Amino acid sequence: SMISFVRRAEDPRDFVVVACNFTPVVRQGYRIGVPQAGFYREIFNSDSSFYAGSNVGNFPGCSAAKVSHHGRPASLAMTLPPLSIVVLKPDL
């Protein structure tokens, strides 16, 4: 019921992380693997009040630690809103 993936641009250093929660339950501290440590800005949240959602999320973003997960060198412990899609982009 959860899926996350990395979407890269033509320049592989330019990417976003997409996380989807297809359950009606908020997931606090949900860990996903990411390509690098650092701050990731939440650039889209389908649960935002802007879209008539409950406004659960990670605004303005969250930090990825050098804790490997899902075969990636770093990971985010994030909040995934219910029935939503969240897109994060690393600050370079």
Per-residue pLDDT reduced to its tens digit, 1-46: 999 999 999 999 999 999 999 999 999 999 999 999 999 999 999 9
Q: What pLDDT shows up at residue 19?
A: 98
Does residue 17 contact residue 4 with C-beta atoms inside 8 Å? yes
Strands (E), 51-90: 61-65, 74-80, 84-90
Does residue 15 contact residue 33 with C-beta atoms inside 8 Å? no
- Over 90: is that where the pLDDT of 92 sits? no
**pTM of this structure:** 0.94
Does residue 4 contact residue 14 with C-beta atoms inside 8 Å? no
Helix (H) / strand (E) element for 16: namely strand 15-21
The partner residues of 76 in beta bridges, in order of sequence, read: 32, 64
Residue 36's SS3 state is: coil
Mean pLDDT score of the chain: 96
Residue 56's SS3 state is: coil
